[in-house]
């Protein structure tokens, strides 16, 4: 087998040279187009399918590649090799001696591959290709780490006689992963890819990997599906999908879809569109596994309608929420959605919610332990503290059919007392913060129309995160003072007594409740702060503040936060936090007792401060004995 490290060294040198010369990332595709054509030609040669060559290397490298492609086209008529040749042409005809040397090495390495080494070499080159595309971060694979594909394939329950369909197959990562798992058994695949160059290159790659690519086609899956039967899309045993993100779709096109694919709701984004297309492509006992961004699992209209219908039709079997890892290219958090048209009887009427945190994983083997934990938890189908819950449809309805596992799986602290409190609160009837309060975000000073003219302007103390002390007090002395003429502008971000203030970004969650700060003092929230204004007729503001400040609240805020090193909170996620309903009479009793205890605590703090001061005075007197002497004489001992 070739030395993959040396191969990688020459490959990356070649890509770096060509990118510097051409100023385009597309050269990466061209290089791999050249490599995979050479690999397919070598495979044909190893099968005694001799390729007549009239061109000589290296002066006529492209002519030789074309001859090889022409010969291969007779064996693989479904592959338009010209599309790969176009991207490889400029590379082959480059007159740089450095490029020629790197290409010569790659050709020599491929020529040295034996029959028994071909499959293993092809897989190693494929893995190298994915790393290269991720490193260039353009024209490459979707930005999910390989472990997502490993888990998705692991829960797919694919059997060799089945056909697996991918409506947006890219470079065919699931297909390659399946071929590895099944070893010598054939994998039957079908799929569609909108990018013709990627589609053709993937067909070549699949043939090198001994996976028949005749079922792969080029085109727009949502606009013009290729796998159809009359007025319906073709149906498959298994569907696996890594939908493109960031797609915005027109409602009219989807409503008039002639294949009736969007019966569970008209999606606004590409993720749910591809998932609904995938569901319509399933047989009666079929199964779909798809990656999906966490936002799509919790957003309201129109995503909420789709989720509600999928749940009520008992199609959702499980959702696996994965933590962000250092290897992630994308900062966006994602989960794995499992749809099953043939759910076992014991699983009907419920959904397995799995929420994996980094703390559960082996730090030395993060990705390996994550894959194992996800697959084992799905296979066992049981509730585990801090990890998984089997959630009923009725409970999901109280959360507006959110499919985000962390909404249901509480992160239980190791402390028994804190764990007991969190479990007790989570079992109580709840209500969303958005139903009892309005949540809004602050603004940056630069967005305000400030003035240096104090006359007629409003004096505003603009708070920032650092102005919230550790004990929940607001430090007005540290707050920046600005003057604003527009009263409406100030009102939008103004803080009134009983308003709750949260840090929206940072490494530490901070929370405070606004008190009475004197007549004429105007507080406002700056950037990276959120305001919760509770309707006093629906919920006691003090109760909500203390709940958010409790272990329960900290756990909920941790679960809805985004980001890894620097966490963030969004208005919508805060609105969706479930808090228990509070008995007003019991809360009044608690408030009286709590207020009395708080006064005692403050008195004790004041007493402690006096004692600390007295102790310091005694220490000073240890060295200053004669109090009658002047200070300069005390120091000299005179």
State pLDDT tens for residues 351-384.
999 999 877 776 667 778 899 999 999 999 999 9
pLDDT band (50, 70, 90) for residue 141: very low
Distance from the first to the final alpha carbon of the chain: 90
pLDDT tens digits for range 154-207: 999 999 999 999 999 999 999 999 999 998 789 999 999 999 999 999 999 999
Q: What is the predicted pLDDT for the residue at 252? A: 87
Q: What is the 3-state secondary structure (H, E, C) of 100-112?
A: HHHHHHHHHHHHC
In the predicted model, what is the mean pLDDT of residues 527-542? 94
Q: What is the predicted pLDDT for the residue at 629? A: 54
Contacts of 496-500 with C-beta under 8 Å, sequence gap 24+, read 496/533, 498/534, 498/536, 498/541, 498/542, 499/531, 499/532, 499/533, 499/541, 500/531, 500/532, 500/533, 500/534, 500/541, 500/544, 500/545, 500/548
The residues near 390 (Cβ < 8 Å, ≥ 6 apart) are 350, 351, 352, 353, 381, 382, 383
Q: Is 322 in contact with 148 (CB distance < 8 Å)?
A: yes
- How far apart are the C-alpha atoms of 330 and 441, rounded to whole Å? 25
- How far apart are the C-alpha atoms of 556 and 411, rounded to whole Å? 8
Q: Name the more confident of 1 and 250.
A: 250
Please say if the pLDDT value at position 124 is more than 80. yes
The residues near 180 (Cβ < 8 Å, ≥ 6 apart) are 123
Q: What crossing angle do the helices spanning 173-182 and 146-154 adopt, rounded to 10°?
A: 50
Mean pLDDT in the chain? 88
Q: Is 421 in contact with 551 (CB distance < 8 Å)?
A: yes
pLDDT tens digits for range 263-286: 999 999 999 999 999 999 999 999
Q: What is the predicted pLDDT for the residue at 627? A: 55
Q: What is the predicted pLDDT for the residue at 198? A: 93
pLDDT tens digits for range 381-416: 999 988 999 999 998 998 889 999 988 887 766 677
Q: What is the predicted pLDDT for the residue at 346? A: 95
Strands (E), 220-363: 228-229, 232-233, 236-241, 282-293, 316-321, 334-340, 350-355
0.85 surpassed by pTM: no
Q: What is the predicted pLDDT for the residue at 569? A: 85
Q: What is the CA radius of gyration of the chain?
A: 32
Q: What is the predicted pLDDT for the residue at 372? A: 94
- How far apart are the C-alpha atoms of 607 and 594, rounded to whole Å? 20
Q: What is the predicted pLDDT for the residue at 184? A: 74
- How far apart are the C-alpha atoms of 263 and 265, rounded to whole Å? 6
| Beta-ladder partners of 524 | 462, 494
What percent of the chain is predicted at pLDDT more than 90? 60
Please say if the pLDDT value at position 456 is more than 90. no
Residues 536-564: b if buried by 16+ CB within 10 A, e if exposed:
eeebbbbbbbbbbbebbbbbbbebbbbee
**Mean pLDDT lowest for which of 78-82, 336-340, 428-432?**
428-432
Please say if the pLDDT value at position 136 is more than 60. no
The residues near 164 (Cβ < 8 Å, ≥ 6 apart) are 156, 158, 174, 175, 178, 187, 188, 189, 190, 236, 237, 238, 239, 240
Q: Strand pairing of 350-355 and 316-321?
A: parallel
pLDDT tens digits for range 556-590: 887 777 654 556 788 888 998 889 998 888 888 98
Instruction: Look at residues 513, 509, 571 and name the one whose alpha carbon lies nearest to residue 546.
Output: 513
Quickly tell me which residue has 């958090």 as its tokens.
333
- How far apart are the C-alpha atoms of 138 and 403, rounded to whole Å? 31
Handedness of CA 105, 106, 107, 110 (dihedral sign): positive
Structure tokens, 32? 């791999």
- How far apart are the C-alpha atoms of 534 and 101, rounded to whole Å? 70
Q: Is 36 in contact with 205 (CB distance < 8 Å)?
A: yes
Please say if the pLDDT value at position 330 is more than 60. no
Q: What is the predicted pLDDT for the residue at 139? A: 44
Q: Is 47 in contact with 33 (CB distance < 8 Å)?
A: no
Q: What is the predicted pLDDT for the residue at 25? A: 63
Structure tokens, 512? 């405070």
Q: Name the more confident of 348 and 52.
A: 348
Please say if the pLDDT value at position 628 is more than 80. no
Q: Name the more confident of 418 and 489.
A: 489
pLDDT band (50, 70, 90) for residue 328: very low
HSE at residue 101, side-chain half, CA atoms within 13 A, is 8
Q: What is the 3-state secondary structure (H, E, C) of 370-437?
A: HHHHHHHHHHHCCCECCCEEEEEHHHHHHCCCCCCHHHCCCCCCCCHHHHHHHHHHHCCCEEEHHHHE
Residues 112-125: b if buried by 16+ CB within 10 A, e if exposed:
ebeeeebbebbebb
The Cα angle at residue 241 between residues 236 and 242, in degrees rounded to 5: 170
Number of other CB atoms surrounding residue 339 within 10 Å: 21
Q: What is the predicted pLDDT for the residue at 172? A: 96
């Amino acid at each position: 087998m070739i030395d993959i490290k040396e191969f990688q060294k020459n490959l990356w040198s070649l890509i770096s040279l060509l990118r510097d010369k051409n100023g385009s990332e597309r050269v990466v595709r061209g290089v791999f187009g050249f490599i995979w054509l050479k690999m397919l030609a070598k495979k044909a040669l190893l099968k005694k399918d001799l390729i007549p060559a009239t061109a000589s290397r290296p002066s006529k490298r492209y002519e030789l590649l074309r001859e090889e492609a022409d010969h291969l086209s007779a064996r693989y008529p479904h592959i338009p090799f010209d599309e790969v040749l176009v991207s490889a042409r400029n590379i082959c005809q480059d007159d740089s001696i450095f490029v020629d040397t790197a290409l010569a090495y790659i050709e020599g390495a491929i020529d040295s591959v034996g029959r028994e080494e071909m499959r293993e070499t092809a897989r190693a080159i494929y893995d190298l290709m994915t790393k290269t595309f991720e490193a260039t971060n353009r024209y490459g694979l979707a930005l999910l780490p390989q472990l997502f594909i490993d888990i998705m394939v692991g829960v797919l329950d694919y059997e060799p006689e089945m056909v697996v369909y991918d409506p947006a197959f890219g470079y065919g990562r699931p297909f390659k992963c399946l071929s590895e798992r099944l070893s010598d058994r054939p994998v039957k695949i079908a799929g569609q890819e909108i990018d013709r160059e990627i589609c053709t290159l993937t067909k070549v790659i699949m043939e090198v990997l001994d996976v028949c690519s005749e079922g792969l086609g080029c085109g727009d899956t949502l606009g013009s599906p290729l796998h159809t039967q009359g007025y319906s899309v073709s149906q498959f045993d298994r569907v696996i999908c890594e939908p493109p993100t960031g797609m915005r779709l027109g409602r009219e096109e989807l409503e008039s879809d002639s294949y009736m694919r969007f019966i569970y709701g008209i999606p606004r984004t590409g993720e749910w569109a591809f998932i609904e297309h995938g569901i319509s492509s399933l047989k009666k006992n079929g199964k779909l596994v798809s990656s999906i961004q966490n936002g799509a699992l919790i957003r309201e209209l129109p995503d909420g309608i789709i989720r509600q219908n999928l749940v009520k039709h008992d199609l959702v079997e499980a959702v696996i929420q994965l933590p962000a890892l250092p290897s992630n290219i994308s900062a966006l958090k994602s989960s794995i959605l499992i749809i099953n048209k043939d759910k076992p009887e014991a699983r009907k009427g419920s959904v397995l919610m799995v929420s994996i945190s980094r703390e559960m994983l082996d730090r030395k083997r993060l990705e390996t332990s994550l894959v194992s934990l996800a697959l084992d938890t799905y296979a066992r189908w049981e509730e585990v503290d801090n990890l998984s819950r089997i959630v009923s449809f009725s409970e999901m309805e109280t959360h507006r059919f959110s499919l985000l596992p962390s909404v249901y799986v509480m992160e239980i602290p190791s402390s028994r007392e804190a764990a007991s409190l969190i479990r007790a609160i989570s079992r109580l009837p709840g209500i969303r913060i958005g139903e009892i309060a309005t949540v809004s975000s602050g603004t940056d000073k630069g967005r305000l129309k400030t003035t240096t003219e104090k006359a007629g302007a409003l004096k505003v103390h603009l708070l920032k995160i650092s102005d919230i002390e550790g004990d929940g007090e607001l430090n007005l002395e540290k707050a920046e003072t600005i003057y604003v003429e527009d009263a409406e502008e100030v009102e939008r971000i103004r803080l009134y007594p009983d308003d709750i203030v949260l840090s929206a970004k940072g490494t530490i969650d901070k929370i405070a409740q606004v008190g009475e700060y004197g007549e004429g003092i105007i507080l406002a929230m700056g950037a990276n702060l959120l305001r919760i204004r509770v309707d006093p007729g629906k919920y006691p503001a003090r109760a909500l503040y203390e709940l958010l400040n409790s272990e329960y609240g900290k756990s909920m805020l941790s679960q809805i936060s985004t980001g890894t090193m620097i966490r963030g909170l969004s208005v919508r996620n805060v609105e969706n936090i479930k808090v228990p309903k509070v008995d007003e009479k019991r809360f009044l009793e608690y408030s009286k007792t709590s207020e009395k205890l708080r006064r005692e605590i403050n008195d004790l703090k004041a007493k402690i401060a006096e004692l600390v001061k007295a102790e310091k005075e005694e220490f000073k007197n240890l060295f200053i004995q004669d109090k009658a002497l002047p200070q300069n004489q005390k120091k000299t001992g005179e």
